[in-house]
């Protein structure tokens, strides 16, 4: 069965009747612009064809129940007016419900806060939500934003909240930050809500202004290969939070609200003012913002074939300055480049997850074989390799 059928079947098993509708939202891959989002900077992600589906139906007792095909746990059910007692999750603590359930329940909580016309005590507001997904989990492809986007889209419609896509992305981010407790930026939710076929989304994370940038991958007979290392990562703990703190420290030392306000010309002064590690974190953000701007310009003026060096420079910056790569990601990138990729870089938050390679369509098999062989030679778990094309954002499917 496909994921939408799975979601509907799970809903029917749970409730004994058909859902009121099915909504979905995609995962994303980021072409370039890593860890720049929470620094008010620039990113260039696109939505991928893999989607998460939420089959949803109203209930008349003011309760919310969530179930999924991907977690072994039993469905989680609470009264809507109890959500305010569950969230926010204190910093560093684990959510009061199973982590997978904190995403949809956190969205319901955040939506209630954003839309005061949704009376949490109103019996008619209750919902059952059954979720199924074909977005790989833990691969750095935003399976979490896909859950948030599908749930937010469904509740926005069923609760007549009337919020636009950017507002729903903010709801998803709030769920992730405050219900799940992962201190992430807004890139993933914006990509999942606003994705369009054949375009990347150039997002200014300070203003949330977006511009679609045609990538023209298929016309140029190119492909984007996802190289999922299958090294699992979590942004709720550890390195991600620590990198974010370094960026805030760097901005404070420079006397600016965020690293978006530090220019390439300021880097010499930054190096004088701060310790080596903080400086290198700052340098990654400042140069990565510039690389996003350069990639957008290059895509528009010269096409995708010309962005390879920018992707490679981005990976080097994440490996050496931001230090968020791992041996499996470096191996994937190096093997792809050695086998003729035009460019390659790790994508997402790092510490595991996936890398991408921009390659000739005709080279998909050769590059895949080379990456698989390099993983085997290093004794790594075999990677999961597949191609993606920019795809549509969140929508109602049925
Ligand atoms: C994760 C986060 F969720 C994003 O907000 C972003 O910071 C990304 O890592 C790194 O660019 O996907």
- Indicate whether residue 185 lines ligand 1 (CB < 6 A): yes
Question: What is the reported pLDDT for 237?
Answer: 62
Q: Which of 245, 234, 188, 238 is nearest to 34 (CA)?
A: 188
Contact 83, 64 (CB under 8 A): yes
Cα torsion angle, 169, 92, 45, 144, sign = negative
Kindly give the distance from the C-alpha atom of residue 193 to the centroid of ligand 1, in angstroms, as a whole number: 15
- Binding-site members for Mg(2+) are 144, 176
Give the separation between CA 356 and CA 305, rounded to whole angstroms: 14
31-66 residues labelled b (16+ CB within 10 A) or e (exposed): bbbbbbbbbbbbbbbbbbbbbbbbbbbeeeebbbbb
Q: Please state, as a whole number, how many other Cβ atoms lie within 10 Å of the Cβ of residue 372.
A: 17
- Binding-site members for ATP are 68, 138-144
Contact 285, 247 (CB under 8 A): yes
For the question of an ipTM over 0.85, the answer is: yes
- Binding-site members are 34-37, 68, 138-144, 176, 240
- Indicate whether residue 38 lines ligand 1 (CB < 6 A): yes
Tell me which residues are annotated as active site. 188
**Ligand 1 pocket test target in 175, 323, 349 with most atoms within 8 Å of CB:** 349
Give the separation between CA 325 and CA 276, rounded to whole angstroms: 18
Give the separation between CA 21 and CA 13, rounded to whole angstroms: 15
Rg (CA), the chain: 21
Tokens 């949490």 belong to 120
Cα torsion angle, 187, 189, 193, 195, sign = positive
- Indicate whether residue 6 lines ligand 1 (CB < 6 A): no
Residues 155-179 pLDDT 10s: 999 999 999 999 999 999 999 999 9
Going by C-beta distance under 8 Å and a sequence separation of 6 or more, which residues neighbour residue 337?
A: 312, 343, 344, 357
Nearest-CA residue for atom 7 of ligand 1: 35
Kindly give the distance from the C-alpha atom of residue 133 to the centroid of ligand 1, in angstroms, as a whole number: 20
Contact 104, 179 (CB under 8 A): no
Kindly give the distance from the C-alpha atom of residue 10 to the centroid of ligand 1, in angstroms, as a whole number: 30
94 conformational bin, left if phi > 0, alpha if psi -120 to 50, beta if neither: beta
Kindly give the distance from the C-alpha atom of residue 35 to the centroid of ligand 1, in angstroms, as a whole number: 6
**Ligand 1 pocket test target in 29, 34, 37 with most atoms within 8 Å of CB:** 37
Q: Please state, as a whole number, how many other Cβ atoms lie within 10 Å of the Cβ of residue 378.
A: 11
Rounded to the nearest 5°, which phi and psi values hold at 135? -85, 120
Domains of the chain: 3-212 (3.30.230.10), 215-388 (3.30.70.890)
Tokens 């597949």 belong to 386
Residues 359-375 pLDDT 10s: 999 999 999 999 999 99
Give the separation between CA 58 and CA 67, rounded to whole angstroms: 15
The whole-number mean pLDDT for each consecutive block of 10 residues of the chain, a chain of 398 residues, reads 94 98 98 98 98 97 96 92 95 90 97 83 87 93 97 96 97 97 96 97 98 95 97 79 97 98 98 98 99 98 98 99 97 98 97 97 98 98 98 98
Give the separation between CA 319 and CA 333, rounded to whole angstroms: 11
- Indicate whether residue 187 lines ligand 1 (CB < 6 A): yes
Q: Please state, as a whole number, how many other Cβ atoms lie within 10 Å of the Cβ of residue 336.
A: 28
- Indicate whether residue 34 lines ligand 1 (CB < 6 A): yes
Nearest-CA residue for atom 8 of ligand 1: 349
Q: Where are the alpha helices (DSSP H) in the chain?
A: 3-15, 83-86, 99-114, 143-158, 165-174, 187-194, 239-254, 267-273, 276-302, 308-320, 327-338, 364-378
The model's pTM: 0.97
Cα torsion angle, 192, 193, 198, 200, sign = negative
User: Whats the size of the chain, residue-wise?
Assistant: 398
- Indicate whether residue 45 lines ligand 1 (CB < 6 A): no
Contact 2, 117 (CB under 8 A): no
- Indicate whether residue 39 lines ligand 1 (CB < 6 A): no
């Amino acid at each position: 069965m496909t994921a939408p059928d799975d979601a509907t079947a799970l809903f029917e098993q749970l409730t004994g009747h058909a859902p009121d509708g099915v909504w979905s939202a995609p995962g994303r891959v980021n072409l370039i612009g890593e860890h720049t989002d929470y620094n008010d900077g620039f990113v260039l992600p696109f939505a991928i064809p893999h989607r998460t589906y939420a089959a949803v139906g109203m209930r008349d007792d003011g309760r919310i129940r969530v179930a999924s095909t991907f977690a072994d746990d039993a469905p989680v059910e609470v009264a809507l007016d109890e959500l305010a007692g569950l969230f926010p999750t204190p910093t560093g603590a684990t959510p009061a419900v199973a982590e997978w359930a904190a995403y949809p329940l956190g969205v319901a909580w955040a939506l209630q806060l954003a839309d005061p016309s949704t009376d949490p005590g109103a019996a008619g507001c209750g919902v059952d939500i059954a979720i199924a997904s074909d977005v790989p989990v833990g691969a750095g492809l935003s399976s979490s934003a896909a859950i948030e986007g599908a749930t937010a889209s469904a509740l926005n419609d069923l609760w007549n909240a009337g919020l636009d896509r950017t507002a729903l992305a903010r709801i998803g981010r709030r769920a992730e930050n405050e219900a799940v407790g992962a201190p992430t930026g807004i890139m993933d939710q914006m990509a999942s809500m606003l994705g369009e076929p054949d375009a990347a989304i150039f997002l200014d994370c300070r203003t949330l202004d977006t511009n679609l940038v045609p990538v023209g991958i298929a016309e140029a007979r190119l492909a984007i290969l996802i190289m999922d290392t299958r090294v699992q990562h979590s942004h709720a703990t550890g390195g991600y939070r620590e990198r974010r703190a370094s960026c805030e420290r760097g901005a404070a030392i420079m006397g600016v609200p965020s690293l978006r306000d530090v220019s390439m010309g300021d880097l010499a002064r930054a190096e004088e003012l701060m310790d080596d590690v903080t400086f290198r974190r700052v340098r990654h953000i400042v140069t990565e913002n510039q690389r996003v701007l350069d990639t957008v310009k290059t895509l528009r003026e010269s096409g995708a074939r010309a962005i390879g060096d920018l992707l490679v420079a981005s990976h080097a910056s994440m490996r050496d300055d931001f230090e968020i790569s791992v041996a499996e990601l470096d191996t994937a990138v190096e093997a792809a480049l050695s086998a003729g990729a035009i460019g390659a870089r790790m994508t997402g938050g790092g510490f595991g997850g996936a890398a991408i390679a921009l390659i000739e369509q005709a080279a998909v098999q050769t590059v895949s074989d080379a990456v698989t062989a390099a993983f085997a030679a290093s004794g790594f778990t075999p990677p999961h390799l597949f191609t993606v094309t920019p795809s549509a954002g969140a929508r109602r499917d049925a």
